[in-house]
Amino acid sequence: MGLLRYTLWRLAQAIPVLIGIITITFFLANQIPGDPVEIMLGPSPAQEQVEAIRARYGLDRPAYQRFLTYLAGVATGDLGQSIYYDRPVLEMILLRLPVTLYLTVSAFIFAIVTAIPLGVISAKRRNKPADHVSRIVSLIGVSTPSFWIGLMLIIVFAFYLGWFPARGLPLPWASPADIRGAETQLQVVRTSLYHLAMPMVALGTLQMAQITRIERSSMVESLQGEYVKLARAYGVSESKIVRKHAFQVAQLPVITIVGLGLSTALGGAVLTETVFEIQGMGRLIITAINNQDYELIMGTTFMFGVAFVIGVIITDVAYAYIDPRVAYGDES
Amino acid sequence: MTEPLLSVRDLKTQFFTEDGTVRAVDGISFDVYEGEIVGLVGESGAGKSVATSSILRLVDSPGEIVGGEIEFKGETIFGLEEGDAGELRPRDEMLTETQMRKRIRGREIAIIFQDPMESLNPVFTVGGQLREFIEINRDLDPAEAKEEAIDMLREVGIPAPESRYDEYPHQFSGGMRQRVLIAMALACQPDLIIADEPTTALDVTVEGEILEMVTALQEKYDTSFIWVTHDMSVVAEICDRVNVMYLGEIIEQAEVDDLFYDTKHPYTSALLDSMPRPDKTVDELRPIEGVMPEAINPPSGCRFHSRCPEAREVCREVHPDLRDLSDEGEATHTGACVKHDAFDVGYGDSPAIETETGSGFSAGLTETGGEAE
């Protein structure tokens, strides 16, 4: 019961944060030198044409008025009109967001599934060969940019070996008619997974490395805890100590890193999508910035903000779920 | 007397560090008989806790038991023999690691740690932890173990044990957590409980309650205890026999009354002088001067000589062993100090040496030290 109320409370707290994000983005975006209309119409356009377009997108009104209009729009789910695509911003985002989520979530699953066993083994065999290997791998992973990993993967596995396709990312639930060479849904899923493999590894490696490192240090600390000594002194088997007694305590810092990593990964998705030519949110935001498409910049940034806030809330709730010491706030 | 429950002979535990070998426990011997509370006393760093973890064979790396024998109820917890090539190897009858885990730890010898705040796992309920250990060590199914756990919580004086069973450690006070740890030890029905400074982290009133409770429960269950402490007043309250440790060695062994009223070793006297006693009125308490030297490079001769108010030249040269200093009859009181007649090394003729107690001050100390004899 407490957990549900706590979740709702945290969601309510997110509202002022989001308003803050909108405010800052709005005024920053408007401060960028240059003019979307000029970009749109090319050099030396006719004055009437410029004014017509300005009026159409409301750019002729003062900033504070436009801001209030925008805020009211967001409240009702209207993120405005993209100048560049000439379509509603929300429509553009809903078109691209699933691709990015598909990529990011897969990268995270890949990261967690590989990092946690690696970190635990590393901690268990501290300062032994397995530990050294895992530490070197994670050090390389932390210090290698995701786009470079992506390029290397393309060179090796797409160009030389030809095992995986290097471009695009069809969604597994796309209609078979839209995917070349696919007739059944199963084939769509297979094609999608083939396309997913390399961008997932490219994006997930940084997360994997970070989680491995924190998992290792957290487990090392936990394994030295008094409660582990106690469990040993009461005849609990070593494997159960690792799996249960030490493991659960050690996950607390890991959850923090995973939660914060969610937003880092979205940022990383921008680069990964560029390298693999994936039509996701990352590409959308780049297009928006290149064309000074105010509404689209604000819309996409807002969505990243929402994702960040959701990541933090998931972290907090997971923390409260695992650690009984976290007060739910309604107790005081 | 009958066979001891636990017999430790010449136990040596060393830590192999980069700076050298730390001889944390350096040849101690003591027995624990059925139903008695045996004290293990000394300052921090004397090797008390290492001695107790050696008994469970749970010495943390880089520490290792390097010699001696530990027998418990006829089983060999630790014992070495000389191999064909003259190397030392574990004896055949020495329990394996698995046997230690399954037959000794928790089931036969349970432990209560010093810090109740850290010893319980913060992410599991108190009842769950209790139940798990009871299940493992008494072969009960979960429902029976839960019942047993609740009974035990009631026994150690935790109010409303049924509802507190599902609470987490952070919802318990320090004293209550220590009660939980005591319940844990007793619930596994071991023959021996090692209490490693269990009341040190608690305030004095809670300490008093816990000691009272332990004394009562000890009589009820007839469990033997090894009670590790640096606090002589705790010793006076609950111990039957006492071993005083200094720098990895036992320097005095006696029944509790003899230790207090017929103190043989200056270190024991110093420990006694540093605590308030209801039976003696003193103007001020005297702390023991200086700090315990490092066990990595113990002083020559008597290890206490650098801090001893009664030290003489001979103390620097002769390393005293533990000898019988009882007045008559059975050897119930042993000590390791050359000032006694049992050591014929010329203490009387040896000149006094300056120690950390300071020259001006030492005269006064020596005077009262003599009085205590």
CA atoms within 13 A on the CB side of A195: 22
Strands, E assignment, chain B: 6-17, 20-32, 37-41, 63-72, 75-78, 80-82, 88-90, 109-112, 192-196, 224-229, 241-246, 249-255, 323-324, 334-335
> Given this model, what pLDDT does residue B200 score?
81
User: How much of chain B exceeds pLDDT 70, in percent?
Assistant: 92
* Residue B232 forms part of a structural domain: no
Q: pLDDT at residue B296 above 60? A: yes
Note whether B267 and B308 are within 8 A (CB): yes
Higher per-residue pLDDT: A223 or A32: A223
Q: pLDDT at residue B219 above 60? A: yes
* Residue B158 forms part of a structural domain: no
Q: For the segment B141-182, what is each residue's pLDDT rounded down to a tens digit?
A: 999 999 999 999 998 889 999 999 999 999 998 888 998 999
> Given this model, what pLDDT does residue B39 score?
93
Neighbours of A29 (CB within 10 A): 18
Helix, strand or coil, per DSSP, at residue A136: helix
Q: For the segment A244-263, what is each residue's pLDDT rounded down to a tens digit?
A: 989 988 988 888 888 888 77
> Given this model, what pLDDT does residue A313 score?
87
Give yes or no for a cis peptide into A88 (omega within 30° of 0).
Answer: no
Instruction: List the single residue in A227, A233, A324 with the smallest CB-CB distance to B58.
Output: A233
* Residue B291 forms part of a structural domain: yes
Helix, strand or coil, per DSSP, at residue A176: helix
Q: pLDDT at residue B239 above 90? A: yes
The answer to whether residue A325 neighbours chain B at the CB level (below 8 Å) is: yes
Q: What is the mean pLDDT of residues A21-33?
A: 83
Cα distance between residue B176 and residue B129, in whole Å: 15
The whole-chain average pLDDT of chain A stands at 85
Instruction: List the single residue in A229, A237, A322 with the smallest CB-CB distance to B113.
Output: A229
Q: pLDDT at residue A227 above 70? A: yes
Contact A234 B136 (CB under 8 A): yes
Q: For the segment B10-28, what is each residue's pLDDT rounded down to a tens digit?
A: 999 999 988 888 889 999 9
Q: pLDDT at residue B245 above 90? A: yes
* Residue B184 forms part of a structural domain: no
Contact B168 A325 (CB under 8 A): yes
Question: Which of B112, B102, B83, B84 minimizes the C-alpha distance to B228?
Answer: B112
* Residue B61 forms part of a structural domain: no
- pLDDT band of residue A219 (cuts 50, 70, 90) is very high
Residue of chain A with shortest Cα separation from B131:
A234
Structure tokens at B334: 């042993």
Question: Which of A78, A28, A36 minimizes the C-alpha distance to A287?
Answer: A36
Report the 3 state secondary structure along A194-223: HHHHHHHHHHHHHHHHHHHHHHHHHHHHHH
> Given this model, what pLDDT does residue B318 score?
87
Q: pLDDT at residue B366 above 50? A: no
C-alpha to C-alpha distances, B273 to A328, B276, B280, nearest whole angstrom: 51, 7, 10
Residue of chain A with shortest Cα separation from B167:
A324
Q: Which residues contact A161 (CB under 8 A, 6 or more apart)?
A: none
Q: pLDDT at residue A330 above 50? A: no
Domain containing residue B334: CATH number: 3.40.50.300
Q: Tell me the residues of chain A between 240 and 259 that have a Cβ less than 8 Å away from chain B.
A: 245, 248-249
Q: pLDDT at residue B295 above 50? A: yes
Q: Tell me the residues of chain A between 181 and 240 that have a Cβ less than 8 Å away from chain B.
A: 225-227, 229-237
Q: pLDDT at residue A189 above 80? A: yes
Full residue range of the structural domain in which residue B337 is found: 247-372
Cα distance between residue A46 and residue A51, in whole Å: 9
* Residue B322 forms part of a structural domain: yes
The distance of A249 to chain B (nearest Cα, Å) reads 6
Q: pLDDT at residue B343 above 60? A: yes
> Given this model, what pLDDT does residue B209 score?
86
> Given this model, what pLDDT does residue B322 score?
87
Higher per-residue pLDDT: B54 or A181: B54
CB–CB contacts below 8 A, A to B? 68
* Residue B345 forms part of a structural domain: yes
- pLDDT band of residue A228 (cuts 50, 70, 90) is very high
Q: Kindly list the structural domains of chain A, giving each domain's residue range(s) and its CATH number in brackets, ordered by start.
A: 89-290 (1.10.3720.10)
Contact B122 A227 (CB under 8 A): yes
The distance of B152 to chain A (nearest Cα, Å) reads 16
Q: pLDDT at residue A172 above 90? A: no
- Residue A200: what residue type? M
Mutation pick from B99, B107, B123 vs chain A, by most beta carbons of A within 10 Å, is B123
Contacts of A236 in chain B (CB under 8 A): 132-133, 136
The maximal CA–CA distance of chain A, rounded, in angstroms, is 86
Contact B111 A230 (CB under 8 A): yes
Cα distance between residue A205 and residue A137, in whole Å: 10
Cα distance between residue B303 and residue B102, in whole Å: 39
Contacts of A231 in chain B (CB under 8 A): 121
> Given this model, what pLDDT does residue B129 score?
93
Question: Model ipTM?
Answer: 0.83
- DSSP secondary structure code for residue B312 in this structure: B
Contact B123 A248 (CB under 8 A): yes
* Residue B357 forms part of a structural domain: yes
Cα distance between residue B153 and residue B151, in whole Å: 6
Number of domains in chain B: 1
Q: What is the mean pLDDT of residues A13-21?
A: 89
> Given this model, what pLDDT does residue B372 score?
38
Q: For the segment B77-122, what is each residue's pLDDT rounded down to a tens digit?
A: 998 888 788 788 888 888 888 899 888 999 999 999 888 888 999 8
Q: What is the mean pLDDT of residues B255-277?
A: 87
Question: Which of A296, A279, A218, A268 minimizes the C-alpha distance to A108?
Answer: A268
Rounded to 10 degrees, the C-alpha dihedral A16/A19/A20/A25 comes to 160
Which pTM was predicted?
0.79
Q: DSSP alpha helices (H): ranges in chain A?
A: 2-31, 36-41, 47-56, 63-75, 89-124, 129-143, 146-153, 185-223, 226-233, 238-240, 247-275, 281-290, 294-322
Note whether A96 and A280 are within 8 A (CB): yes
In the block, residue with structure tokens 């596995």:
A157
Q: pLDDT at residue A20 above 50? A: yes
Structure tokens at A221: 């600390």
Residue of chain B with shortest Cα separation from A238:
B101
The distance of B187 to chain A (nearest Cα, Å) reads 11
